[in-house]
Amino acid sequence: MDKIRTPSLFPQRKKQKGMHPSISLSSFEVKFNELVIFIIEKKMGVTRRRFLMELARRKGFRVENELSDSVTHIVAENNSYDEVLEWLRGHKVKDSSRFQLLDISWFTACMEAGKPVDLENKHQLTVQQVYPITSNIPESEASSFVAGRVSQYACQRRTTLNNCNKKFTDAFEILAENYEFRENGVPCLAFMRAASVLKCLPFTIVRMQDLGGLPCMGDEIRAVIEEILDEGESSKAKEVLTDERYQSFKLFSSVFGVGLKTSEKWYRMGFRTLEDVKADKTLKLSKMQKAGFLYHEDLISRVSKAEADAVSWIVKDAVRTFLPDALVTITGGFRRGKKIGHDVDFLITSPELRQEEEVLHRVIDLWKKQGLLLYYDLVESTFEQAKLPSRKVDAFDHFEKCFAILKLHQQRVDTSCCETSEELDEAKVRVWKAIRVDLVVSPFEQYAYALLGWTGSRQFERDLRRYATHERKMILDNHALYDKTKRIFLKAKSEEEIFAHLGLDYMEPSERNA
């Protein structure tokens, strides 16, 4: 996601050699002489820092352009205590105890109040906290974990499927989904990020002090955690689960082909159940939505690892009928080690130049003849209109894709235990299951980027792109990595090379469950 460029409140003057662009300190009346603020530019950027300095001065605060002996309060954004200390050492500061080292949340609270607010624990950057050893994790893992080193970016946090804080993250995900249904993106993202942070922790949060030093723990997040610690559950999440609008959106969006806009439309039309939708004969459903209703019971049931493996065999067999040297890789949650999922995703490529271009058409024709294809939507490549790489964090890519529903034949059911004729008939009929399958075709030279992008998780990918933009001055998407400083595209033959380009430690797919 691109940084928001905030326009300066004042006209730019020509920068003189050796001088920092600033406004006169006497431009505004100083109302609060008891404190002097200095804002660290690191991880914030010049434009945002300048805007915040001018905002504070307008409200009567004294803000210094340069770090000086008069400074009493140092404000940082997205920096840990150790990072600020390192910055101070780089500026020849030997005694940091004379400053209040504060998070941007204190500054924001001051701006909202229009005056200095009291310092609370949540505002202060504190010494690295080493968490106490708990019974549910290995001693070596818990004792070596340092809160101050937890990055705000999921791509710098190793997150396995071992979630020690499920009672918190489940509540966060319910609240985030509700905000998403209401198209309220800011709190939705806040809860998603907080859930992602808690998922990486090798211990269970048992007290509010355990949150010290962790990023993305805003006031609303902390309030939910505190209530769960005190009451055992979140009243806000409980309220959401009983909310009629949330329940309706959750139900409608469970239908293949139904998104937020359609859910909103149906809700406004007075529909509350799928039966309401089916009963309206004037409603025009898309081909995808008709398939979604037809196979709804199968599609909302979980896909097991065994079923995913069986689908993998079908896909590889079909693709290699036409491309013997094709690389066919399962992606998504199953590549990250999950045992269950909602669909099965595959990435297809071939080392032979442009040989992959017709493979989806041929595979579709083959599955039609074999009677395996229940539904498909083929999306042709849009490379011709592409502007690569995309600056949007959640941008769609331009690969050729097929969104399909396959008939997965299962082992015949033992009918000896059937007590009624209805059970016997159902057992005989249900020897197959409808499975959602996504096929993505990538040119070989873009395969590493496509594999990284389609492996997920969603939050991992979002933060990976944010990190590339904000920390490395690069643009990353499912096709390429562009270095804005050098003005070149960086080639990569593997995911490891992409991580290396970004200056990140490589993470296995099983460590990307953010």
Q: What residues are labeled active site? A: 343, 345, 438
Strand order in the sheet with 100-103: 61-63, 32-39, 73-76, 100-103
Q: What does the DSSP assignment read for 268-280?
A: HTT--SHHHHHH-
Contacts of 217 (CB under 8 A, 6+ apart): 122, 194, 197, 211, 225
Question: Can you tell me the distance from the alpha carbon of 334 to that of 312, in angstroms, rounded to the nearest whole number?
Answer: 11
- DSSP character for 336? T
Determine which helix (DSSP H) or strand (DSSP E) holds 405, and give its type and residue range: strand 400-409
Question: Can you tell me the distance from the alpha carbon of 318 to that of 59, in angstroms, rounded to the nearest whole number?
Answer: 68
Burial of 219 (0-12, 13-18, 19+ CB in 10 A): exposed
- DSSP character for 148? G
Q: Locate 482 and state its tokens.
A: 């562009």
Ramachandran angles phi, psi of 185, nearest 5°? -70, -35
Report CA-CA distances (Å) from 293 to 121, 213, 309, 434, 438.
Answer: 52, 47, 25, 12, 18
Strand order in the sheet with 488-489: 474-476, 481-483, 488-489
